[in-house]
Amino acid sequence: MDTAFIFPGQGAQTVGMGAGIAKQFPQAARIYAQANEILGFDLKTICFEGPEEKLNT
């Protein structure tokens, strides 16, 4: 079965978003790891732990 993760649009981000999904679904955690590699910075930590200022830039 395919799995889809849907998030609200731009401007709706909050610190901690996605952490529960990544903890519950290994495939979501892999997406964050891939994003980190592609972007060259730790998006996962910014999303899960903040700081909020960095998340919003």
The whole-model pTM stands at 0.77
Helix, strand, coil proportions of the chain in percent (round to 5)?
Answer: 55, 0, 45
Residue among 37, 5, 9, 34 at smallest CA distance from 18 = 5
pLDDT average per 10 residues of sequence, the chain (57 residues): 80 90 94 97 96 91
Predicted confidence at residue 7, as pLDDT, reads: 78
pLDDT value of position 2:
87
- Give me 46's structure tokens: 């910014």
Domain regions of the chain by residue span: 19-55
